[in-house]
Amino acid sequence: MKTTYIYLSILAATALGLGSCEKYLDEVESKQQIQAQNVKTVQELDILMTGAYSGIAREVAFGGNALVIGETFADLVSINNAGYRNAPGRSSRVYTWTHREEDYGYQAEFLQWSTFGLNNANNVLEILRTNQVQTPAETDPRKDINLQKGRIEGDARFVRALCIFEQTRLLGYPWGHTPDNSHPGPVGNYSSISDFGDLSYPRLSVRAAYDSVLNDLRVAERLLPESYNPAQHLPDMQPRANKYAALALMARVYWQQDNVDSCLAVCNRLLGQGNQNRFPLVAGNQMLANVFQRTGIMPTTNSDNRSEVIFELVNVAGRNARTTNGAPLRTHYTLQSVYTAAQLANVNNLTSGPNLRLSQRFKNLANFDRTRDLRYRTLIDTTQATTAATAWNSPNRLWFARKWGVLGTANLGPANGVNSNIVMYRSAEFLLIRAEMNQRKGNIAQALTDLNAVRTRAGLVALATAPANFLDEIRTEFVRETFGEGTRVHSLRRIKAPINTGDRSLSPSGVDCVMSGCNEVPWNSRLLVFVVPQTMLDRNPLMVQND
C-alpha cells in the first residue's frame, strides 16, 4: 500500500495552491500524522472520521461559506457595508457575480476543505475495503471492528456524499442543464490522494455525481445507527451523522433533481408516514435559543431524544478546528452594535456593521404577518431605522437576520454567533419540502397538514382549506422559514426560475449588477457557477474548466 497521510491531508490544501496554505501546513505540523498502512484500530478509524468532520465544519466550508454562497448568489440579501462593495473579495464577488474574474476566494476555500473531508472519507473506505483493521481478541464492542465496520463505512459514505453533492451544486451547471446531464460536475475524486501523481482524473458528469451520491446515501441509510449509543459506540461518534442525517441529505438530493416521487418517499422515511414528525418542531418563541444558538453536544444531539434539529455541525472543543467567531456567518449577518443617528441618515453609505442585510425583495416576498409571525418578531432585527416611524418596507428600515448571532459585543457566546453549532438539516425544511411534493401529487390534505404545522408553530392561523395558489403559498412559506440558511439559489435553480437581481439595481449606478445588466439571470447562467481554480487545472491534465 502506498504511504498515505490521512489525519490531516496536506494535499487537500496544496493541490489548490492557496494563499492560506502556509498557515494550514503549520496546523498540520502540530498534529499527529498517521500512515494509512499503520491504522490498526477502530479508535484510529474514528480519529480519521473526526478529522473529516473537523475539516468540513470549518467556517470556510459547510460551517459558513456554503450557507453564505446560497444566499449571496440569489436575491434575499443585499450589501449593507459599502466597504464590502468597494473592496471586493470572496463573497462580495459572488454577490456581484464577478467571481469568475478570479480563481481563489470562496470557491477555492470551499474546495480546499470539502476535498479535505472527502479525502479522509476515501481513505477510511479504502482501509475498510482491504480489511486492514483486525481486532480478534477485542472484548469491548465499541472497539470490535466486526461490530463497528458498518457504522464507520456509513459515516464515511455520508461525508463523501455531502462533499460531492455540494461541489456538484456549486461547480457544475444545474441538474437539467443538458438533456442527459452529461455536463461536468464535481472536481472531487473517489480514491485517496497522497501525492501529485494521484491528481490525474476527470470530472464526473453531473448525472454520475448524483448517482454516486445517492448510492452512498442508500448504503449509509442502511449501515448507520438511528442514534448514538454509548454502550455500542465510542464517544467520537456522538456529534456525527446517523441514519436520519443520511436520509435528510438524500431528500435534498432528490429535491434538487425535482424528483417528486423519490423526494416524497424519502421525506416519509425521514419524518414518518402520514402526519407524523419524528423530529418535533421547537416552539416558535424558542427557535432562536433552541435551534440557532445551540453549542456543543446537546441532549438531543444524535439521540433518541429528538428535536427539530436532525443534523448539525457540532462545535466540540478540541475536535473542531475553527469556530464561527469572526467568521463568515457572524461577519455577514450579525449586527454587533447599534448605528448612530448620523450613520442611519445615509443607510446606503454605511461603513460599519455586517456585510449583508435582508433585501427589500425579501421583505416583499416573505410578506410576513408582522403582528403574529414569530419568525419576523424573533429571528429578524428591524430596530435600525432613521426614525421610529420609518415604515417596515422602507429602504431606511434595515432588516438583519438573527439566526447566526444577535446584537451585542459583551460576553461573547452563542447568542453572538461565537462557538455556535451550525444547523445543516432541521425538520421544518423537510415538512415544507414534503408539502410541496404532496401538493404536486394531488395529496392536498397531507400537504395542508405539513404546511399548517410550520405556520402554526410560527404563530399563524392554520389554513382551513388549500388556497387557489397553494403551491406558491408553500414556496413562500419556505422563504419565510429558511432565509439565511443557504437554500435560496438552489431552490430557484431547482424549479428553473430566473434569479431576480433583487436590490442590486439599487446600488450606485447599478454597480452590484453590472454583470447582468440589472436583468434577471437565467437559472443555468454561467454567472451562477464557480470556475475551477487554475492551479487544479495545471496539476490535473484531465480536469476541464467551466465555460
- The Cα–Cα gap between 107 and 100 comes to 10
Most confident of 6-15, 56-65, 304-313, 398-407: 304-313
d(CA 474, CA 452): 10
Query: Among 62-71, 105-114, 179-188, where is mean pLDDT lowest?
Result: 105-114
> What Cα–Cα distance (Å) separates residue 17 from each residue in 188, 355, 531?
16, 27, 15
Give dist(CA 385, CA 326) in Å, integer.
Answer: 25
The predicted structure's pLDDT at residue 321: 46
pLDDT digits (tens, 9 = 90+) for 385-436: 999 999 999 999 999 999 998 887 677 788 888 888 999 999 999 999 999 9
**What is the structure's pLDDT at 323?**
56
Q: What percent of the chain stands above pLDDT 90?
A: 72
Q: Which residue type, as a one-letter code, is found at position 308?
A: E
Confidence of residue 20 (pLDDT cuts 50, 70, 90): very low
Residue 345 has pLDDT above 90, yes or no: yes
Is a pLDDT exceeding 70 seen at residue 24?
A: no
CB atoms within 10 A of CB 525: 17
What the block records as the C-alpha cell of 87 is: 473592496
pTM of this structure? 0.93
Per residue in 223-260, pLDDT (tens digit) is 999 999 999 999 999 999 999 999 999 999 999 999 99
Q: What does the pLDDT look like over 301-343, one tens digit per residue?
A: 999 999 999 999 998 765 554 556 678 898 899 998 899 999 9
Q: How confident is the model at residue 102 (pLDDT cuts 50, 70, 90)?
A: low
Handedness of CA 472, 474, 476, 479 (dihedral sign): negative
Amino acid found at 124: V
In 87-205, alpha helices (H): 91-95, 106-129, 145-171
Provide mean pLDDT across the span 43-59. 91
Average predicted confidence (pLDDT) for the chain: 89
Domains of the chain: 10-326+423-539 (1.25.40.390)
Q: What is the pLDDT of residue 28?
A: 32
Write the CB contacts of 186 (distance below 8 Å, at least 6 apart in sequence): 164, 167, 168, 171, 172, 203, 204, 209
C-alpha cell at 344: 442611519
DSSP for 21-38, please give it: HHHHHHHHHTS---BGGG
Under the banding of pLDDT at 50, 70 and 90, the label for residue 101 is confident
- 181 bridge partner residues: none
Identify the pLDDT of residue 31: 43
Question: What are the pLDDT digits (tens) for 347-379?
Answer: 999 999 999 999 999 999 999 999 999 999 999
Give the model's confidence band at 99: pLDDT under 50 very low, under 70 low, under 90 confident, else very high.
confident
Q: Is the pLDDT of residue 19 over 50?
A: no
- β-pairing verdict for 380-385 and 309-313: unpaired
Contacts of 365 (CB under 8 A, 6+ apart): 76, 476, 479
Cell of 357: 442585510
What per-residue confidence (pLDDT) applies to 272?
95
Residue 1's pLDDT is 41
Task: Summarize the confidence of residues 525-541 as an average pLDDT.
Answer: 90
SS (H, E, C) 59-101: CCCCCCHHHHHHHHCCCCEEECCHHHHHCCCCHHHHHCCCHHH
Question: In the numeric block, which cell numbers belong to residue 253?
Answer: 438530493
Residue 14 has pLDDT above 60, yes or no: no
**Are the C-beta atoms of residues 211 and 257 closer than 8 Å to each other?**
no
Report whether pLDDT(17) > 80.
no
Beta strand pairing call for 309-313 and 397-401: unpaired
Closest CA to 23 of 109, 123, 118, 107: 109
Predicted pLDDT at 320: 57
**Which is higher by pLDDT, 198 or 120?**
120
- What integer is the mean pLDDT of 57-81? 92
| Model pLDDT, residue 90 | 73
Would you state the cell numbers that stand for residue 522, as one nine-digit string?
437565467
CA atoms within 13 A on the CB side of 214: 17
pLDDT of residue 439: 98
Output the CA–CA distances (angstroms, integers) from residue 361 to 358, 367, 398, 502, in the order listed. Answer: 8, 10, 12, 6
Task: Check residue 195 and give its pLDDT.
Answer: 65
Beta strands in 248-395 (DSSP E): 309-313, 356-358, 380-385
pLDDT of residue 193: 76
DSSP symbols for 380-398: EEEEEESSTT--TTSTTEE
Show the cell assigned to 10. Answer: 496536506
Euclidean distance between CA atoms 23 and 167, whole angstroms: 24
Count of Cβ atoms closer than 10 Å to residue 16 Cβ: 25
pLDDT value, residue 27: 34
Going edge to edge, which strands form the sheet with 380-385?
A: 77-79, 356-358, 397-401, 380-385
- Dihedral sign computed on CA atoms, order 331, 399, 166, 74: negative
pLDDT of residue 406: 84
Burial class of 199 by CB neighbour count within 10 A (0 to 12, 13 to 18, 19+): middle
Contact assessment for residue 245 and residue 158, using Cβ atoms and an 8 Å cutoff: yes
CB of 64 closer than 8 Å to CB of 129: no
